[in-house]
Amino acid sequence: MSGKPRLTYLNGRGRMEPVRWLLAAAGVEFEEVFLQTKEQYEKLIKDGLLLFQQVPLVEIDGMKMVQTRAILSYIAGKYNLYGKDLKERALIDMYVEGITDLMQMILMFPFSPPDAKEKNLDSIKERATNRYFPVFEKVLKQHGQDFLVGNKFSWADVQLIEAILAVEEKFPAVLSGFPQLQAFKTKMSNMPTIKKFLQPGSPRKPPPDDHYVETVLKVFKK
């Protein structure tokens, strides 16, 4: 095995995408293994590679890590993206948890029944514009710094730019009332590691389509 982290998941965003984002933002190259069949998934379980019988699976530093939050925390700590002390870490955790709540709605949207799609889409927009984005707009305005915590690039910044772009895919004008977030998006998108990740051909995955939904259901169905 090479020294690169090895990511095992489906060939789509899902719960692995924040891991790809964080590694890319830290300038870390990684390898990917894509699950396409139920048999591949069952073999991982049989071989004892999935502690809780769930992916994502990230092999890094001799560990076989599962549970998205644990994986992200480890990567953030390893690459100095997790604040300088416990207080900064607590802030980063709070912001990340809030963004994760919003991203969970986006994550589940492709699996919505057809008659619920419009309602769920409205819910995403409502939550983004009334609950989550105002928080970050206020934080950036109050401290007047480039980054969310400690005036230093952190995991929270990576999660936020991922969320902004994911919501914009569905609502292109969603930041129209958030000038601080517009400036933040421009700044983050031009950071060299993130700019590279946003280019065609990078490991960033496209928005989930019907084929991705079908693959998820095929691989994980009981």
Would you state the pLDDT for residue 26?
A: 97
Residue 139 in contact with residue 94, Cβ under 8 Å? no
Q: Which of 148, 157, 194, 152 is nearest to 27 (CA)?
A: 194
208 secondary structure, DSSP code: P
Residue 1: predicted pLDDT: 44
**How confident is the model over 97-109, as pLDDT tens digits?**
999 999 999 999 9
pLDDT at 199 over 80: yes
Residues 112, 49, single domain; the answer is no
Phi and psi of 7, rounded to 5°? -105, 125
CB 7 within 8 A of CB 16: yes
**At residue 147, does pLDDT exceed 70?**
yes
Is 202 contained in some domain? yes
Token pair, residue 83, equals 């604040």
Output the CA torsion sign for 23, 24, 26, 27: positive
State the average pLDDT over residues 178-191: 97
User: With the C-alpha atoms ordered 150, 153, 154, 159, is the resulting torsion angle positive or negative?
Assistant: positive
Overall domain count for the chain? 2
Looking at the fold, whether 74 and 92 belong to one and the same domain comes out as no
Averaged pLDDT for residues 154-163: 97
What CATH code is carried by the domain that includes residue 26? 3.40.30.10
Span 35-86, pLDDT tens digits: 999 999 999 999 999 999 899 999 999 999 999 999 999 999 999 999 999 9
Q: Considering the chain, what is the average pLDDT of its residues? A: 95
Residues 126 and 98 in one domain: yes
Phi, psi for 188 (deg, rounded to 5): -65, -40
Bridge partners (DSSP) of residue 58 are 7, 65
Claim to verify: residue 122 and residue 208 sit in the same structural domain: no
Q: Is the pLDDT of residue 222 over 90?
A: no
Q: Which domain holds residue 18?
A: 6-79+198-220
